[in-house]
Amino acid sequence: MNLTAWLEAAQQFHSQQRAYALVTVLRVTPPASARAGDKAVVTADGTLRGWIGGGCAQPAVIKAARLALADGQPRTIRITPASESEEKQLEDVLEFGMSCHSGGTLELFVDPVLPQEALVVFGDSPVARALCDLAPRVGFAVHWVAQGAVATDAPAAHRVLDNDDAASVTATVPPASWVVVATQGRRDMPALKAALQIRARRIWFVASERKAGVLKDSLLAAGEDADRVGAIVAPAGTPIGADTPEEIALSVLASVVAARRQQVNDAASPKSCCGGRKPAAAQATAAARVSEEATAVTAGATLTEAAMEAATAMPEPSTPAASTQQAKTSCCGG
Cα 285 from Cα 278, distance rounded (Å): 10
- State residue 266's pLDDT score: 61
pLDDT above 70 covers a percentage of the chain that reads 76
pTM exceeds 0.85, yes or no: no
Nearest to 183 by CA among 145, 231, 237: 145
Amino acid letter, residue 54? G
| 3-state DSSP of 57-76 | HHHHHHHHHHHHHHHCCCEE
pLDDT above 70 (res 84): no
Say whether domain 117-265+285-326 belongs to CATH 3.40.50.720: yes
Q: Can you tell me the mean pLDDT for 126-154?
A: 95
Name residue 121's amino acid.
V
The 10s digit of each residue's pLDDT in 265-287 is: 665 544 444 444 444 344 444 33
Q: What is the 3-state secondary structure (H, E, C) of 115-160?
A: CCEEEEEECCCHHHHHHHHHHHHHCEEEEEECCCCCHHHCCCCCEE
Residues of the chain with CATH 3.40.50.720: 117-265+285-326
Say how far apart CA 329 and CA 72 lie, in whole Å. Answer: 40
Residue-wise pLDDT for 298-319, tens only, equals: 333 333 333 333 333 344 444 4
Please give the order of strands across the beta sheet that includes 140-145. 159-161, 140-145, 117-122, 178-181, 202-205
Under the banding of pLDDT at 50, 70 and 90, the label for residue 145 is: very high
- Say what the pLDDT of residue 83 is: 66
Compute the average pLDDT of residues 143-161: 94
Q: Is the pLDDT of residue 295 over 80?
A: no
